[in-house]
Amino acid sequence: MASDLTVIVLAAGGGTRMRSKTAKVLHEIGGRSMVGHVLAAVQALEPGRVVAVVGHQRDQVGPHIQSLMPAVVLAVQEDQKGTGDAVRIAVEAAGTTSGTVLVAAGDTPLLRGESLRDFALEHEAAQCAVSVLSGVVDDPFGYGRIVRNDEGDVEAIIEENDATTDQRSIHEISSGILAFDAEFLTEALPKLDNDNAKGEYYLTDTVGLARDAGLTVGAFPIDDWMQTEGANDRVQLANLGRELNRRIVEQWMRDGVTVMDPDTTWIEADVSLAPDVILLPNTQLLGATVVGEDAVIGPDTSLKDCEIGAGARVVRTHGELAVVGNGASVGPYAYLRPGTELGGGGKIGTFVETKNAHIGAGAKVPHLSYVGDADIGEGTNIGAGTIVANYDGVNKHHTTVGKGAKTGANNTFVAPVTIGDGAMTGGGTVVRRDVPPGHLAVSGGPQRNLDRRAPRDQEATTMGEPGPDEGES
């Protein structure tokens, strides 16, 4: 495919049944908007031009489409007077007069590039003036019916509201995806009228015009009808979302990923998985998440835009924009916030929250800790219950812990502060000042045991020597 192909994406419709402030084609499944899925399929054809027709909520829809496809031509349809009117506006915007023009809707998220390509090639090979991607379905209600003559040639596409009872019993229907010879389309569009049940300019009436002119019309059925289905309400959206997920999960299994429970595993369209990844139940891999070979993810884990190294283990974790090194271990019950980077073989353990934290190779934050705005050196071990106090109420400050350090349990590191290589801290230390390399930091006085009992009971106990602090109390 190439420069002689123009694709028109219709996205001007209102989508009232979504009952949403968000335009219909912007509703998401599988990590992309519906129109985003369509544009990805279109992009696979490397067309010379893509025109998107926008109308309803075009202040949302237009910029979204441009962000996904900067070279797109946006055509504005002020009033939705029908698909024929929308395509007329698109053709004017494109200025195309040669080659093939494909028309698709913006709300068919399961559509695949290969299907569009096969359809365009069939259309071109049969030298049709116009072709329709059709389907044979059990329940044709609501769709345009493909009317064929006794020879099987396509005579017309008749919309539901305009069809006779006989025509309504036809099970071959129009997907709304059509292919045109550009010259024929340019001549046919001005001839369309709106003399029909809906009072709209039907693009599908071009079929009758082609027949009247003695030109060839094709209808090429697609086996996988769901690829052409649109979502008009949120029930259909969820159904298509589940089906899209089922397809994505199945494809990853065929590519060598073990999925223990496909029904509770969600993988979005832009995720990338290496062979021999193992996904345990209730795992959601979202956005541009990448998982390396032999990594085991789950159960009960959501990762968005994360990069998980080969052989890593991530259990019951919520992560976003985090990088986990090869062979590292995360969870159970970890919260990886943006900017978390865990080095190879490192550990972020149980009830640990991290944010903008670089934790070196082999370093461990095993239990009950918050690490934010910090660098932790290779091989360092952070004691249980450590809080990096990065926020003074106004500004965020940075904490650095060197390599091979061992900090005690229940510490607070009051940022900005630096703990040197090989340093140690005692249990309960509040680190307010830098700790030089190789030093042990302790804070707070020695323990005091104050006797609160009545005087006669006190005599029964032999007290130890008082410490320096106790002497004064």
Active-site residue set: 367
Compute the least distance from the CB of residue 251 to ligand UD1, in Å.
Answer: 26
d(CA 367, CA 332): 10
Closest to ligand UD1 by CB, 211 vs 355, is 211
Mark residue 95 as left, alpha or beta (left: phi above 0; alpha: psi -120 to 50; beta: remaining).
left
Would you count residue 172 as binding ligand UD1 (CB under 6 A)? no
Tell me which stretch binds ligand UD1 (CB under 6 A): 5-13, 60-68, 280-288, 443-451: 5-13
Other beta carbons less than 10 A from residue 294's beta carbon: 17
Compute the least distance from the CB of residue 400 to ligand UD1, in Å.
Answer: 55
Are the CB atoms for 157 and 206 separated by under 8 Å? no
Would you count residue 373 as binding ligand UD1 (CB under 6 A)? no
Q: What is the largest CA-CA distance in the chain?
A: 119
- Going from the C-alpha of 289 to that of each of 262, 299, 304, 399, the distances in angstroms are 18, 17, 6, 28
Among 47, 106, 345, 377, binds ligand UD1 (CB under 6 A): 106
Would you count residue 7 as binding ligand UD1 (CB under 6 A)? no
Burial class (CB in 10 A: 0-12, 13-18, 19+), 329: buried
According to DSSP H, which parts of 136-230 are helical? 165-168, 182-188, 206-212
Sketch the per residue contact string, 394 through 423, with ligand UD1: x for CB under 6 A, - otherwise: ------------------------------
Would you count residue 85 as binding ligand UD1 (CB under 6 A)? yes
Give the three-state DSSP class for 406: strand
Are the CB atoms for 359 and 365 separated by under 8 Å? yes
Closest to ligand UD1 by CB, 207 vs 322, is 207
Other beta carbons less than 10 A from residue 265's beta carbon: 25
Stretch 8-67 residues interacting with ligand UD1 (CB under 6 A):
10-13, 53
Would you count residue 425 as binding ligand UD1 (CB under 6 A)? no
Closest to ligand UD1 by CB, 175 vs 418, is 175
Would you count residue 241 as binding ligand UD1 (CB under 6 A)? no
d(CA 284, CA 119): 34
Would you count residue 218 as binding ligand UD1 (CB under 6 A)? no
Among 128, 154, 157, 336, binds ligand UD1 (CB under 6 A): 157
Tell me which stretch binds ligand UD1 (CB under 6 A): 74-82, 179-187, 233-241, 435-443: 74-82
Would you count residue 143 as binding ligand UD1 (CB under 6 A)? yes
d(CA 349, CA 324): 13
d(CA 208, CA 294): 57
Among 174, 265, 326, 407, binds ligand UD1 (CB under 6 A): 174
Closest to ligand UD1 by CB, 56 vs 398, is 56
| CB environment 218-242: b (16+ within 10 A), e (fewer) | bbbebeebbbbbbbbbeeebeebbe
Binding site for ligand UD1 (CB under 6 A): 10-13, 53, 77, 80-83, 85-86, 105-107, 143-144, 157, 159, 173-176, 202-204, 230
